[in-house]
């Protein structure tokens, strides 16, 4: 009987996500046979849990690969980073996720592990219902992996069984040509349909929090079909694709809402720190713990990285001024258009959408216990009487934008540990509502009672935006399809800020160039006014009390605000960003691969 060599190689890295916070006792399964492993539910679960550990997305939705290595937040208005995507210097060698050598590429390695699991679990002697439940989880991760590939390149080789590993025959068998893009999406849908059919809407044990449910699979299918219906893949606006996306997202909402999922009652840090059934928003979750003892512990460093360096954090995530401007005013109207709350850069923080305050940390703002109960100060002050030498008030290193990312930080903790253990929510219930809203708008479902308006209103109401005399929470009455779709996209930018969605949204809607090209992202520079020839931080001793008394008065008397460009050149997304080129080494290693026609080849990624 053959051995399961993948388990031999990886047995020391097996995690249990049955309980997302614990690590299973390690077992030496290197000498187990396929019969021994796949005829026993305990060892099958070990293998299924390994699929989770290999494929679940991390913070900001990262799944590895070339785009995520740049940080998706650095590819939009959210934050600033210099990379070949925004600089317009991509080549066919830039995005290597499809694999660039004869050695195993991570994407297809993971797909091979999934296919091996499916083959062996189906050949085992477990009860049919148990087999289907395990297989359905594997189908989800195969669909997940192929979606990651197809949205990068269009059609890719579809490998649905484990191929041979050695020998000339195996090498020839591996030279699989690219499937049509439509075929890849069809396979993803088929796999997810199996998940929806065979997985429970809720797992019976609380320890199973984090496992894929039928509702999570339905929500992911809704995301997949929304992408397939979007202009990137659907330039001729085939309405049947929007209908399919609508139906899938409607089904997802129905399954989820029937099983206790809903918008979390409020917008604050507890949306991220609340776990289990109490978090009704968490549809698809990657669980983390805060262990630093075990080398294989499932932990992350996000919380530490988000805090300012002045409190031993990483200071790594700094929103731009443009991101702050994206949030509407308290009445839901865009900044600069609200008659009730006129916007001024001098009081940028005043009368904003409540999500502004839970997403961004800003000069003079409170931040729970993160700063020991003090306010955040990111201003500069002059250190020379000439007024041309500045010093940051931040003790260790300054935010390069004047802001920090507040979303997802556990505000009950004063000092960060290396691993805070906050879970990543890849799909929130709010996203499912927005997916349905967008699909409904594209189908001209434009009444206030239809899903486009109704779901936007539900999300804005939960956020705490003022209802308004018309009951529309700042939305414009009587919008047509184009305006309503644009309203959904603006809401996604705000509601899902820094959740790894914005870049992919702009890309699937083919809005990268029209939204970002020709612009530079900016920092907000807050300068302490000089008092005569004062060359010290003269408000340092009084700023906390002054801000508590009136932050507006402190800003008016003490600060001057201006913008500073963060980019050295204008953003310049290329048309080739919508379908990336196949690297030369990939084509050299598989003579049956064809280059995309967007990069000079014969393959049409729209077929």
**pLDDT tens track for 439-486:** 999 999 999 999 999 999 999 999 999 999 999 999 999 999 999 999
CA distance 271 to 288: 15
List, for residues 2-39, the tens digit of each pLDDT value: 223 233 333 323 333 333 443 333 344 445 566 678 99
376-379, long-range: CB < 8 A, 24+ apart: 376/308, 376/404, 377/543, 378/402, 378/403, 378/404, 378/526, 379/526, 379/527, 379/528, 379/559
pLDDT at 165 (0 to 100): 66
Q: What total of structural domains would you count in the chain?
A: 2
Q: What is the CATH classification number for the domain harbouring 466?
A: 1.25.40.900
pLDDT at 3 (0 to 100): 27
Asked if residue 508 and residue 387 are part of one domain, the reply reads no
List, for residues 313-355, the tens digit of each pLDDT value: 999 999 999 999 999 999 999 999 999 999 999 999 999 999 9
Banded model confidence at residue 64, pLDDT cuts 50, 70, 90: confident
Asked if residue 472 and residue 444 are part of one domain, the reply reads yes
pLDDT at 289 (0 to 100): 81
- Classify residue 128: in a domain, yes or no: no
Residue 170 has pLDDT above 90, yes or no: no
Token output for 447? 């009444």
Residue 123 has pLDDT above 50, yes or no: yes
Per the document, the length of the chain is 607
Share of the chain above pLDDT 90, in %: 82
pLDDT at 73 (0 to 100): 96
Average the pLDDT over 262-284 and give the result.
Answer: 95
CA distance 387 to 391: 11
List, for residues 228-251, the tens digit of each pLDDT value: 999 999 999 999 999 999 999 999
Asked if residue 308 and residue 408 are part of one domain, the reply reads yes
- Classify residue 477: in a domain, yes or no: yes
Asked if residue 410 and residue 347 are part of one domain, the reply reads yes
Token output for 268? 């604050």
Asked if residue 349 and residue 288 are part of one domain, the reply reads no
pLDDT at 254 (0 to 100): 98
List, for residues 500-539, the tens digit of each pLDDT value: 999 999 999 999 999 999 999 999 999 999 877 778 899 9
Nearest to 390 by CA among 560, 196, 522: 560
Whole-prediction pTM: 0.93
Nearest to 157 by CA among 594, 508, 579: 594
Asked if residue 371 and residue 273 are part of one domain, the reply reads no
Which helix (DSSP H) or strand (DSSP E) does residue 523 occupy?
Answer: strand 522-528
User: CB neighbours (10 Å) of residue 478?
Assistant: 8
Asked if residue 374 and residue 306 are part of one domain, the reply reads yes
Share of the chain above pLDDT 70, in %: 90
User: CB neighbours (10 Å) of residue 5?
Assistant: 11
Asked if residue 530 and residue 451 are part of one domain, the reply reads no
Q: How far is CA 141 from CA 12, 56, 110, 211, in A?
A: 21, 8, 9, 11
Sign for the CA dihedral angle at 558, 561, 567, 569 comes to negative
Which residues on neighbouring strands pair with residue 560, listed in sequence order? 527
Residue 423 has pLDDT above 90, yes or no: yes
pLDDT at 99 (0 to 100): 87
CA distance 49 to 211: 9
Average the pLDDT over 106-117 and give the result.
Answer: 94
Average the pLDDT over 124-140 and give the result.
Answer: 97
Pick from 76-80, 88-92, 200-204, 382-386: least confident? 382-386
- Classify residue 58: in a domain, yes or no: no
List, for residues 400-419, the tens digit of each pLDDT value: 999 999 999 999 988 776 67
Pick from 177-181, 308-312, 575-579: least confident? 308-312
- Classify residue 238: in a domain, yes or no: yes
CA distance 405 to 363: 12
Token output for 299? 């932990």
Asked if residue 358 and residue 500 are part of one domain, the reply reads no
Asked if residue 467 and residue 329 are part of one domain, the reply reads no
The whole domain housing 324 covers 302-418+522-565
Pick from 90-99, 160-169, 260-269: least confident? 160-169
- Classify residue 580: in a domain, yes or no: no
Q: What DSSP character marks residue 346?
A: G
Instruction: Name the burial class of residue 138, with classes exposed (0-12), middle (13-18) and buried (19+) by CB atoms within 10 angstroms of its CB.
Output: buried
Asked if residue 466 and residue 328 are part of one domain, the reply reads no
Banded model confidence at residue 296, pLDDT cuts 50, 70, 90: low
Asked if residue 387 and residue 249 are part of one domain, the reply reads no
């Amino acid at each position: 009987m053959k051995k399961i060599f993948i388990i031999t190689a990886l047995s020391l890295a097996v995690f249990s996500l049955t309980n997302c916070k614990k690590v299973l006792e390690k077992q030496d399964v290197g000498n187990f046979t396929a019969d021994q492993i796949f005829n026993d539910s305990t060892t099958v679960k070990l293998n299924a849990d390994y699929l989770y550990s290999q494929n679940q997305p991390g913070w900001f939705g990262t799944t590895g690969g070339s785009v995520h290595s740049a940080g998706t937040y650095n590819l939009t208005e959210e934050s600033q980073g210099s990379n070949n995507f925004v600089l317009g210097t991509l080549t066919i060698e830039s995005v290597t996720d499809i694999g660039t050598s004869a050695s195993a590429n991570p994407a297809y390695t993971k797909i091979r592990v999934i296919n091996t699991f499916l083959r062996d679990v189906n050949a085992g002697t477990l009860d049919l219902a148990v087999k289907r439940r395990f297989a359905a989880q594997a189908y989800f991760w195969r669909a997940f992996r192929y979606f990651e590939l197809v949205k990068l390149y269009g059609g890719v080789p579809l490998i649905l069984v484990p191929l041979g590993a050695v020998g000339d025959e195996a090498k020839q068998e591996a030279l699989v040509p690219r499937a049509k893009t439509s075929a890849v999406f069809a396979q993803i849908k088929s796999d997810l349909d199996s998940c929806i059919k065979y997985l429970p809407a809720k797992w019976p044990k609380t320890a199973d929090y984090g496992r894929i449910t039928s509702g999570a699979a339905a929500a992911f299918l809704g995301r997949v079909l929304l992408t397939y219906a979007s202009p990137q893949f659907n330039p001729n606006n085939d309405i049947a694709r929007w209908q399919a996306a609508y139906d899938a997202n409607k089904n997802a909402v129905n399954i989820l809402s029937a099983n206790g999922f809903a918008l979390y009652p409020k917008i604050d840090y507890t949306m991220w720190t609340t776990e289990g059934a109490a978090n009704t928003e968490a549809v698809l979750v990657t669980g983390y713990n805060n262990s630093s003892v075990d080398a294989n512990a499932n932990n992350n460093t996000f919380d530490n990285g988000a805090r300012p360096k002045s409190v031993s954090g990483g200071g790594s995530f700094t929103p731009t001024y443009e991101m702050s401007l994206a949030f509407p005013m308290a009445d839901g109207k865009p900044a600069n258009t609200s008659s009730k709350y006129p916007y001024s850069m001098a009081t940028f923080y005043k009368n904003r959408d409540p999500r502004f305050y839970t997403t961004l940390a800003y000069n003079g703002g409170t931040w729970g216990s993160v700063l020991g109960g003090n306010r955040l100060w990111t201003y500069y002050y002059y250190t020379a009487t000439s007024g041309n030498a500045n010093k940051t008030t931040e003790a260790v290193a300054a935010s390069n934008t004047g802001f920090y990312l507040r979303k997802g930080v556990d505000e009950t903790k004063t000092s960060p540990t290396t691993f805070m253990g906050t879970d990543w929510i890849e799909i929130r219930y709010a996203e499912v509502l927005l997916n349905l809203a967008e699909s409904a708008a594209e189908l001209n479902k434009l009444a206030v009672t239809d899903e486009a308006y109704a779901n936007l209103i539900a999300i804005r109401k939960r956020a705490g935006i003022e209802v308004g005399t018309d009951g529309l929470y700042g939305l414009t009455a009587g919008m047509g399809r184009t305006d309503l779709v644009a309203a959904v996209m603006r809401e996604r930018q705000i509601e899902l800020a820094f959740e790894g969605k914005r870049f992919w949204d702009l890309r699937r809607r083919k809005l990268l160039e029209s939204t970002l090209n020709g612009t530079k992202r900016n920092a907000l520079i807050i300068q302490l006014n000089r008092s005569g020839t004062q060359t010290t931080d003269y408000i340092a001793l009084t700023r906390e009390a002054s801000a508590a008394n009136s932050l507006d008065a402190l800003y008016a008397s003490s600060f001057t605000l201006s913008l500073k460009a963060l980019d050295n050149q204008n953003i310049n997304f290329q048309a080739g960003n919508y379908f990336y080129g196949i690297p030369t080494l990939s084509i050299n290693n598989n003579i049956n691969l064809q280059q995309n026609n967007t990069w000079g080849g014969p393959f049409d990624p729209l077929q």
